[in-house]
């Protein structure tokens, strides 16, 4: 009786795999300063694992290496053959100027060797599994299209701090732990490697922490953010925008991304003119938009840039 060939994973498992793959493709590193490191390999980057008895993207078959010569445009073919010294069959792919010459020296070739029916069935099942994952990947891309992180996986910023926590890191008195998603106060017990990696932590000739201009600027902003929390953001200084809760890691400025983006578009009240709008994105995934070009001041409040709007 012919063995039925079908997927060996469920639709739910395929969706989990597709979700993990998208997360791993989209997510970025965060450093101890609470921002994106200049080198993409520095800092902390979470990895979302998926566990199955058999990994879908690796197959247990012998592959005869790939060889390429020249840069000509080849005709591509796949063929099956029983021409093997050790028995079994071989699935061979090649690209050649001459479609009949499978051993053309100016060709690129590979072969996958099958020694049993079980291997052939397993190969077909894995292809069906990967096709199911591909279908779920397409569905996820469509689902996330146009989301507040611009089509990326919605969880990719969970290891980045809020603006309040990043500002604390900028003072040099704290550092960001991306693996725990929390801001940590620097003490005498803080590991040396963290202090060395902290761009906002400088010491004097005696090894004592010494604040510089950037640290002091962050202290001013921190004071304003804390005042905003105290007043529930309910004054003109903040326009009702919860600056402390802004999601860093996203925004107009890649290296100083503070959750704010400004854009110029059509004015619904006057079709002949365009207007600036500013969008504020929060750590809870929500956002608010104000008319005008708004920026955060050094003092942790909001200020409208009239010059920018009129030029």
CA distance 56 to 189: 44
**Letter string b/e over residues 228-242, b meaning 16 or more CB atoms within 10 A of that residue's CB:** beeeebeeebbbebb
Give the rounded distance of the alpha carbon of 76 from its chain centre.
35
CA distance 46 to 217: 30
Evaluate whether residue 149 is within a structural domain. no
CA angle in degrees (0–180, nearest 5) for 271-272-278: 70
Within 13 Å and on the Cβ side, how many CA atoms surround 11? 3
**Between 103 and 118, whose confidence is greater?**
118
Of 144, 173, 198, the last residue of a domain is: 144
> Do 129 and 193 belong together in one domain?
no
Mean pLDDT of the 120-136 span: 92
What are the tokens at 52? 């199955």
> Do 210 and 130 belong together in one domain?
no
Of 144, 178, 209, the last residue of a domain is: 144
**Between 237 and 267, whose confidence is greater?**
237
52: containing domain: 11-144
Evaluate whether residue 158 is within a structural domain. no
CA distance 79 to 98: 14
Regarding pTM above 0.85, the answer is no
> Do 236 and 292 belong together in one domain?
yes
User: Residue 66 pLDDT > 60, yes or no?
Assistant: no
Nearest to 253 by CA among 264, 244, 261: 261
CA distance 296 to 273: 26
**Weakest-pLDDT range from 6-10, 17-21, 105-109:** 105-109
Of 110, 144, 178, the last residue of a domain is: 144
> Do 237 and 272 belong together in one domain?
yes
> Do 179 and 122 belong together in one domain?
no
Within 13 Å and on the Cβ side, how many CA atoms surround 141? 10
Nearest to 64 by CA among 102, 25, 15: 102
> Do 202 and 81 belong together in one domain?
no
pLDDT digit string (tens) for 177-221?
999 999 999 999 999 999 999 999 999 888 899 999 999 999 999
> Do 17 and 138 belong together in one domain?
yes
Query: By the 8 A CB rule, do 45 and 28 touch?
Result: yes
Mean pLDDT of the 241-245 span: 98
Q: Which residue has the tokens 């009129």?
A: 310
CA dihedral 20, 25, 31, 34 (to 10 degrees): -80
Mean pLDDT of the chain: 87
Evaluate whether residue 1 is within a structural domain. no
Please name the residues in contact with 203: beta carbons below 8 A apart, sequence gap of 6 or more. 209, 210
What pLDDT is attached to residue 101? 55
What pLDDT is attached to residue 1? 42
**Letter string b/e over residues 64-74, b meaning 16 or more CB atoms within 10 A of that residue's CB:** eeeeeeeeeeb
What pLDDT is attached to residue 267? 76
Element (H, E) at 89: strand 89-96
Domains of the chain: total: 2
> Do 67 and 191 belong together in one domain?
no
CA distance 18 to 142: 13
Evaluate whether residue 175 is within a structural domain. yes
What pLDDT is attached to residue 53? 55
> Do 140 and 208 belong together in one domain?
no
What pLDDT is attached to residue 72? 52
> Do 111 and 232 belong together in one domain?
no
> Do 168 and 302 belong together in one domain?
yes
Evaluate whether residue 278 is within a structural domain. yes
Taking CA atoms, 12 is separated from 16, 17, 44, 265, in Å, by 6, 9, 29, 41
Query: By the 8 A CB rule, do 295 and 306 touch?
Result: no
Evaluate whether residue 132 is within a structural domain. yes
> Do 181 and 216 belong together in one domain?
yes
DSSP-based three-state secondary structure for 61: coil
Evaluate whether residue 4 is within a structural domain. no
pLDDT digit string (tens) for 33-63?
999 998 888 999 999 988 775 566 666 767 7
Query: By the 8 A CB rule, do 45 and 156 touch?
Result: no
Evaluate whether residue 173 is within a structural domain. yes
**Weakest-pLDDT range from 103-117, 140-154, 222-236, 292-306:** 103-117
């Amino acid at each position: 009786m012919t063995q039925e060939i079908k997927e060996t994973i469920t639709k739910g498992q395929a969706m989990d795999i597709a979700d993990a793959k998208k997360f791993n493709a989209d997510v970025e590193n965060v450093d101890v300063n609470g921002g994106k490191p200049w080198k993409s390999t520095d800092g902390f980057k979470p990895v979302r694992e998926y566990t199955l008895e058999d990994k879908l993207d690796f197959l247990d078959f012998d592959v005869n290496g790939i060889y390429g010569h020249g840069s000509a445009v080849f005709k591509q073919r796949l063929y099956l053959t029983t021409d093997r010294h050790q028995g079994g069959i071989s699935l061979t792919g090649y690209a050649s100027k001459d479609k009949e010459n499978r051993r053309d020296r100016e060709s690129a070739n590979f072969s996958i060797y099958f020694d049993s029916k079980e291997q052939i069935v397993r190969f077909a099942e894995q292809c069906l599994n990967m096709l199911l994952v591909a279908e779920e990947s397409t569905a996820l891309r469509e689902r996330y299209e146009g989301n507040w992180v611009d089509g990326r996986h919605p969880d990719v910023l969970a290891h980045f701090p809020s603006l309040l926590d990043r500002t604390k890191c900028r003072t040099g008195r704290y550092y960001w732990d991306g693996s725990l998603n929390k801001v940590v106060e620097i003490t005498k017990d803080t590991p040396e490697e963290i202090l060395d990696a902290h761009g906002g932590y400088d010491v004097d000739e005696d090894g004592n922490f010494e604040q510089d201009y950037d640290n002091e600027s962050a202290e001013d902003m921190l004071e304003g953010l804390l005042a905003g929390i105290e007043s529930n953001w309910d004054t003109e200084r903040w326009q009702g925008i919860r600056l402390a809760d802004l999601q860093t890691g996203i925004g107009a400025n890649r290296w100083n991304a503070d959750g704010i983006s400004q854009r110029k578009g059509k004015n619904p009240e006057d079709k002949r003119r365009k207007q600036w709008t500013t969008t504020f994105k929060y750590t809870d995934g929500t956002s608010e938009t104000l008319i005008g070009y708004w920026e955060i001041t050094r003092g942790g409040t909001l200020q409208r840039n009239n010059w920018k709007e009129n030029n």
